[in-house]
């Protein structure tokens, strides 16, 4: 089994909880936290090559699908893998943890599958600066003058590509516990299954909210928790910790870090989804409004909006023909209602809570420093 190599993380300075206005200003000052995830990249590449060889043995026609996965397997922030690796490191206190690279890689493959399917559900055209899979194949269908409907073809291929990545992630998750004892194998599998189910449930609730006019604050909180918070930070930490034999006290701390920092991560994502720089995020800032996503920004804006501001939201949310002028009007409402400021303040508060939990967790100083740096990266990111 591959063992975890040195993963270095430099901490960013702590931010005062009392000052929410600094949020957008400081993002320009913070660079990515350097984390060595070379072994995860190598594992993903090797695992994919084996499956790609099988596809190409069936026929050369499979090459475009394999190439689409290969192009999207690289890049990304690898945050989930990093939290898994450090979750194991914190529990093992420096001891090698057999299987942890496989487990971290499995999470990244699961995430890729979720992104491919999510882009279909959201009808998104770009992701990480590349065409989404369904868009790539729909456009190719048109260019090659094929029979049938291009959109149906693109959607079908994206579903298959996502399904392949899902099954490959399960293969890696199973391989990760080959050398583990029976109780550890069972515990890792339970957490893996729970992570998947919660992510699916959160996505369903997110899609359901887009069918309703008024944002439901309780449901928005649950989407934050299950689609993002636990899935992005809490469950990767718990998976790594469980594989390394962490006790319940540390696993509880990992869960609490996940809920606080994970919610801050998603709130930050919601802000970037409307106010982000497309050249940096790799995704149009207009998409979330066109799709009618009921984020916390929307819920808070609806709560405080005047009749005029409410009309803007009603006209623009979920409007597939929304243009940049309409986006500017929505942004103005988010600012004038105080929704943006309140979300910014909540992000700061959640981050401070996460730092407090990390400070008191029973991990070594290197892990504590790394986890703090990763949380900084999640909260103050620009993409």
| Among the listed residues 166, 54, 160, the one whose alpha carbon sits nearest the alpha carbon of residue 106 | 166
Provide the 8-state DSSP code for 191. H
Name the superfamily (CATH) of residues 30-379.
Farnesyl Diphosphate Synthase (1.10.600.10)
Count Cα atoms within 13 angstroms, Cβ side, for 73: 25
**∠188-190-191 over CA atoms, to 5°?**
65
Give me 168's structure tokens: 């490959």
Distance between CA atoms of residues 256 and 206, nearest Å: 23
Element (H, E) at 127: strand 126-127
Torsion of CA 69, 75, 78, 81, to 10 degrees: 40
Find out whether 41 and 8 touch, Cβ atoms under 8 Å. no
Distance between CA atoms of residues 232 and 83, nearest Å: 8
pLDDT of residue 36: 58
Element (H, E) at 126: strand 126-127
| Among the listed residues 264, 263, 190, 270, the one whose alpha carbon sits nearest the alpha carbon of residue 226 | 263
Torsion of CA 218, 220, 221, 226, to 10 degrees: 120
Give me 177's structure tokens: 């516990």
SS3 11: coil
Question: What is the DSSP annotation of 29-72?
Answer: GPPPPP---HHHHHHHHHHHHHHHHHHHHH-GGGHHHHHHHHHH
Phi-psi region of 170 (alpha: psi -120 to 50; beta: other; left: phi over 0): alpha
Q: Which pLDDT tens digits describe the chain residue by residue (383 residues)? A: 433 333 333 333 344 343 444 333 333 332 332 235 889 999 999 999 999 999 999 999 999 999 999 999 987 889 999 999 999 999 998 788 999 999 999 999 999 999 999 999 988 898 888 999 999 999 999 999 999 999 999 999 999 999 999 999 999 999 999 999 999 999 999 999 999 999 999 999 988 988 887 777 788 889 888 888 899 999 999 999 999 999 999 999 999 999 999 999 999 989 998 998 888 877 788 988 998 888 999 999 999 999 999 999 999 999 999 999 999 999 999 999 999 999 999 999 999 999 999 999 999 999 999 999 999 988 888 87
Element (H, E) at 131: strand 130-131
What's the pTM? 0.86
CA 96 distance to own-chain centroid? 27
| Among the listed residues 303, 382, 368, the one whose alpha carbon sits nearest the alpha carbon of residue 342 | 303
Helix axes 248-275, 79-92, angle to 10 degrees: 160
Provide the 8-state DSSP code for 130. E
Find out whether 358 and 257 touch, Cβ atoms under 8 Å. yes
**Per residue in 140-163, is it b (16+ CB within 10 Å) or e — as a string?**
bbeeeeeeeebeebbbbbbeebbe
What is the residue extent of each domain of the chain? 30-379
Distance between CA atoms of residues 316 and 300, nearest Å: 16
């Amino acid at each position: 089994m591959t063992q975890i190599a040195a993963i270095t993380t430099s901490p960013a300075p702590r931010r005062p909880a009392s000052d929410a206005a600094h949020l957008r200003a400081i993002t320009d000052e913070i660079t990515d936290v350097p984390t060595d995830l070379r072994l995860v990249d190598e594992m993903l590449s090797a695992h994919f090559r084996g499956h790609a060889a099988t596809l190409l043995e069936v026929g050369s026609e499979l090459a475009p699908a394999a190439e689409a996965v290969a192009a999207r397997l690289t890049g990304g922030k690898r945050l989930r893998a990093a939290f898994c690796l450090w979750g194991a490191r914190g529990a093992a206190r420096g001891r090698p943890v057999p299987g942890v690279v496989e487990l971290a890689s499995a999470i990244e493959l699961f995430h890729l599958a979720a992104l491919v399917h999510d882009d279909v559900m959201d009808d998104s055209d770009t992701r990480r600066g590349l065409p989404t899979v369904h868009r790539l194949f729909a456009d190719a269908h048109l260019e090659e003058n094929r029979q049938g409907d291009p959109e149906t073809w693109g959607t079908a291929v994206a579903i298959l590509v996502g399904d392949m990545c899902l099954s490959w992630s399960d293969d890696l998750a199973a391989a990760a516990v080959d050398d583990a004892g029976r109780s550890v194998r069972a515990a890792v599998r339970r957490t893996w299954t729970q992570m998947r189910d919660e992510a699916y449930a959160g996505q369903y609730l997110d899609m359901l909210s887009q069918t309703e006019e008024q944002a439901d604050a309780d449901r928005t909180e649950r989407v934050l928790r299950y689609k993002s918070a636990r899935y992005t930070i809490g469950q990767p930490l718990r998976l790594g910790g469980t594989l390394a034999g962490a006790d319940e006290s540390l696993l509880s701390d990992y869960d609490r870090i996940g809920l606080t920092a994970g919610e801050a991560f998603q709130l930050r994502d919601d802000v970037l989804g409307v106010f982000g720089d497309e050249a940096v995020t790799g995704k149009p800032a207009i998409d979330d409004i066109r799709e009618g996503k009921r984020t916390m920004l929307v819920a808070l804006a609806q709560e405080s909006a005047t009749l005029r501001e409410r009309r803007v939201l009603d006209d623009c949310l979920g409007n597939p023909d929304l243009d940049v002028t309409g986006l500017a009007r929505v942004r103005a409402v988010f600012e004038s209602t105080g929704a943006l400021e309140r979300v910014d303040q909540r992000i700061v508060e959640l981050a401070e809570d996460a730092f407090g939990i990390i400070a008191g967790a029973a991990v070594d100083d290197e892990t504590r420093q790394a986890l703090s740096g990763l949380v900084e990266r999640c909260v103050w990111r620009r993409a």
